Amino acid sequence: MKKLAKILIVLSVVLLPLSGCQRHIYNGNAPTKDEIKIGVDMELSGPLAIYGQECLKGAELATEQINKDGGLLGRKVKLVIKDNKSSALEAALTAANLASRAHVVAIFGAATSGAVKAMVPSATTAKVPVLTPTATNDAITHDPKAKIEYIFRGTFPDSYQGLIIGKYLNQIGAKRVAVLMDNSNDYCLELDKSFQKTYKGEIVERDNFISGDKNFQAQLTKIKSQNVDALFVPAYFNEAGLIIKQAREMGINCPIFGADGFSSETLGEIAGDKNVSNVYYTDTFNLDAKPQSPLAQPFVDAYKKKFGKEPSSFASLSYDTMEMLFVAIKKSGDGTSANITKQLALIKNLQGVSGDVTINKFHDAEKPVVMVKKMDNKIVSAEFIK
């Protein structure tokens, strides 16, 4: 009952800013005479800030470049940046405020699935498109009850990553696998669900934990006793780093697999470089993967010049997702939310730094996935899998 009451209160608070808006809000927004304003609703602080901060960098670089080239429709592009503090409630409130008060023509973000789900009611009511570069939970766009008209993503869903990991384990001959999963997170649950659809071997041990756990000795002790060929860990880098560290310290030396939640330099900081060996994960961008997009190296060079380091996959996805938005704005003719939304749904074979992108009927980006392998926390191979 308390949970239901909280949800009702949250929804009323989220939609309140829109209920008293002027009529044009319900038909989306339009650019000003001089600017095209794009809202940014990102995790810039809080436990998932590493994702939001990387996404923002990619968006800022893309915006800087488009403005240097003259902007769009004769106007400069302006990012209205807001921090959702890694909170779904804050993400929803921020989305409502960006649409109703800042009058942005589109909202870029959030980085994580829970935050994007919370933004849907505001975006749908305001009729302002939301583009998430990295949120991968299937339910955002694949739930039959989901209202996806104004929701788009610049990456593939969790189910695709789980399917790829299952097939890859089949290919390398892993007959006995253990799964250690964060069962408090939709992202991890979907990865595990889809993994089971393609993995043909035996899952000899299945255990779980919740976000924020620090000690995995009990689960890993059971896994070690099973002498598995591989360990699949559907988790974000925070817990994955600790699991890798503790597993290796216990003498569990089998390959450890994860999805794009492993794609963070913080993973090695938590686990220790030596322990991040024989570690595999699915990702969206890697310069070592072949065949490489002709846009990849120029993007990396520009990113390094601006930020002093190589871009993460989150930064590259954000850069490509902003390019999707820029193309839609240009083709819209007037920069209004309504016409941008229409053009986003029509994107086909758009060349990006992380591969060509086509938006399908679910508003997901169809693109190749990269299987990355690390030894001593260094990438030793990266293979494109379509």
Quick one: 238 exposed, middle or buried, by C-beta within 10 A (0-12, 13-18, 19+)?
Answer: buried
**Fold match between domain 2-156+296-368 and domain 159-283:** yes
Residue reference for tokens 């002093």 = 308
Q: Which segments of the chain have a pLDDT < 50?
A: 1-5, 7-8, 20-25
**What's residue 4's pLDDT?**
40
Strands 365-366, 358-359: pairing kind? antiparallel
Name the percent of the chain in helix, strand, coil, to the closest 5. Answer: 45, 20, 35
Q: Which CATH fold would you assign to the domain 159-283? A: Rossmann fold (3.40.50)
Residues in the chain, total? 386
Non-local CB neighbours of 49 within 8 Å, separated by 6+ positions: 43, 86
In single-letter form, the type of residue at position 383 comes to: E
Query: Model's pTM, two decimal places?
Result: 0.81
What architecture does CATH give domain 2-156+296-368?
A: 3-Layer(aba) Sandwich (3.40)
Non-local CB neighbours of 255 within 8 Å, separated by 6+ positions: 172, 174, 229, 230, 231, 278, 279, 280
**What's residue 9's pLDDT?**
52
Rounded Cα distance between 118 and 144, Å, is 17
Rounded Cα distance between 112 and 130, Å, is 13
**What's residue 14's pLDDT?**
52
Rounded Cα distance between 359 and 237, Å, is 28
**What's residue 24's pLDDT?**
44
**What's residue 13's pLDDT?**
52
Alpha helices in 250-368 (DSSP H): 265-271, 296-307, 313-332, 337-344
Domain ranges for the chain: 2-156+296-368, 159-283
**What's residue 251's pLDDT?**
97
Rounded Cα distance between 224 and 226, Å, is 5
Closest CA relative to residue 36, chosen from 74, 78, 94, 6: 78
Rounded Cα distance between 130 and 120, Å, is 8
**What's residue 255's pLDDT?**
98
